[in-house]
Amino acid sequence: MLKPVDLRMYGLLLRPWGERDLPAIRRGLADPEFRRWNTRNMPSPDEEGAREFLESRTDGWQRGEMASFAITDAATGTVLGHVGAGLLDFDTHRSGRVGYWVLPEARGRGVASRALDAMSRWAFKDLDLYRLELGHAIGNDASCAVAERCHYRHEGDLRGAMFDIGGVPRDIHVHGRLAIDPAPRLAGAATGAW
């Protein structure tokens, strides 16, 4: 089991998802930009899909395989999006794979970058991971920019490595960040408590 935690940094509160978040989850899953860039194994954008998303994130913490957070505004508590690390390997490779999405009204404000960096710092420090990997469909320039701002280096492309929601194979960019890589200097204070 992985103990769920709250992370405060950059004016954000990253906290585990809960029942109260089902409307925000449903909005996220239904967002056309989210659906454009995601894989066919994403839950459906309805109440059942939102519950499936929530249950899989809760189970991920319990199994010790995933750390998944609702990104919220630390001052208001408003849900802004999601950030998480999955495929966690604490022994052999000390690695994980990260992902994120941001609700439409929160885009363009650095939310994804701040949340990804906060979670990455926590994963390196508190989970003792050494490598975090990020993959996104080629053409998703916004996600690529988030990766680069957070010092996830572009390491190459994988041909036909994901199938989008429509079942079409897509190539992906692979980015990686190591615990020894310098942390980015993002806008806002990089101090926080968790």
Distance, in Å, from the CA atom of 127 to the CA atom of 47, rounded to the nearest integer, reads: 33
**Among residues 62, 146, 54, 48, which one has the least CA distance to residue 99?**
146
Please report, for the domain that includes residue 77, its CATH number. Answer: 3.40.630.30
Q: Is residue 113 included in any domain, yes or no?
A: yes
Q: Is residue 115 included in any domain, yes or no?
A: yes
Distance, in Å, from the CA atom of 84 to the CA atom of 90, rounded to the nearest integer, reads: 16
What is the pTM assigned to this prediction?
0.93
Mean pLDDT confidence for 138-155: 96
pLDDT band at residue 109 under the 50/70/90 scheme: very high
Residue type, 181: D
Q: Is residue 159 included in any domain, yes or no?
A: no
* pLDDT score of 32: 87
Q: Which helix (H) or strand (E) holds 82?
A: strand 79-89
Q: Specify the number of domains making up the chain.
A: 1
Q: Is residue 187 included in any domain, yes or no?
A: no
* Tens-place pLDDT, residues 37-83: 887 777 888 899 999 999 999 999 999 999 999 999 999 999 999 99
Contacts of 164 (CB under 8 A, 6+ apart): 36, 37, 38, 39, 40, 137, 170
State the residue range of the domain holding 81.
Answer: 7-133
